[in-house]
Amino acid sequence: MKAAELLPYVEQIDTLKRYGKVKRVIGLMIESQGPESSIGDVCWIYVSNKANQRRIQAEVVGFKEESVILMPYTDIQEIAPGSVVEATKKPLEIKVGTGLIGKVIDSLGNPLDQSLLPKGLMSVPTDQAPPNPLQRPPINEPIEVGVRAIDSMLTVGKGQRIGIFAGSGVGKSTLLGMIARNTKADINVIALIGERGREVREFIERDLGPEGLAKSIVIAATSDQPALMRIKGAFTATAVAEHFRDRGYNVMFMMDSVTRIASAQREIGLAVGEPPATRGYTPSVFAILPKLLERTGTNERGTITAFYTVLVDGDDMNEPVADTVRGILDGHFILDRELANKGHFPALNILKSVSRLMNHLADDEHRRAAERVRDLLSTYINSEDLINIGAYKRGTSKEIDEAIQFFPKITSFLKQNTTEAITKDESVRSLIRLVETGDWQ
DSSP, res 126: S
3: pLDDT strictly greater than 70: no
Sign of the Cα torsion 287, 293, 297, 303 reads: positive
**Phi-psi domain of 71 (left: phi exceeds 0; alpha: psi -120 through 50; beta: other):** beta
At 129 the pLDDT is 92
Question: In this structure, how many other beta carbons lie within 10 angstroms of the beta carbon of residue 229?
Answer: 22
pLDDT exceeding 70 applies to what percent of the chain? 95
Q: What is the pLDDT of residue 4?
A: 65
Query: Which residues is 91 bridged to in the sheet?
Result: 41
Which pLDDT tens digit goes with each residue over 245-286?
999 999 999 999 899 999 999 998 888 888 988 788 999 999
Q: How many angstroms separate the CA atoms of 246 and 131, rounded? A: 11
pLDDT of residue 260: 94
d(CA 83, CA 21) in angstroms, rounded, equals: 5
Read off the pLDDT band of 9 (50, 70, 90). Answer: low
CB 188, CB 252: distance < 8 Å: yes
111 CB burial (10 A radius; 0-12, 13-18, 19+): middle
Residue 186: CB atoms within 10 A of its CB come to 16
* H helix and E strand count, the chain: 14, 17
What is residue 18's predicted lDDT score, i.e. its pLDDT?
87
| Average pLDDT for 337-362 | 94
Peptide bond before residue 107 is cis, with ω within 30 degrees of 0? no
Q: What are residue 309's phi and psi, to 5 degrees?
A: -90, 145
Q: 310 and 163 in contact (C-beta within 8 Å)?
A: yes
Per-residue pLDDT reduced to its tens digit, 183-197: 999 999 999 999 888
Helix (H, G, I), strand (E, B) or coil at 395: coil
310: β partners = 165
Q: Which pLDDT belongs to residue 324?
A: 94
pLDDT higher than threshold 70 for residue 11: no
The confidence score (pLDDT) of residue 351 equals 96
- Spatial separation of the C-alpha atoms in residues 315 and 196, rounded to whole Å: 20
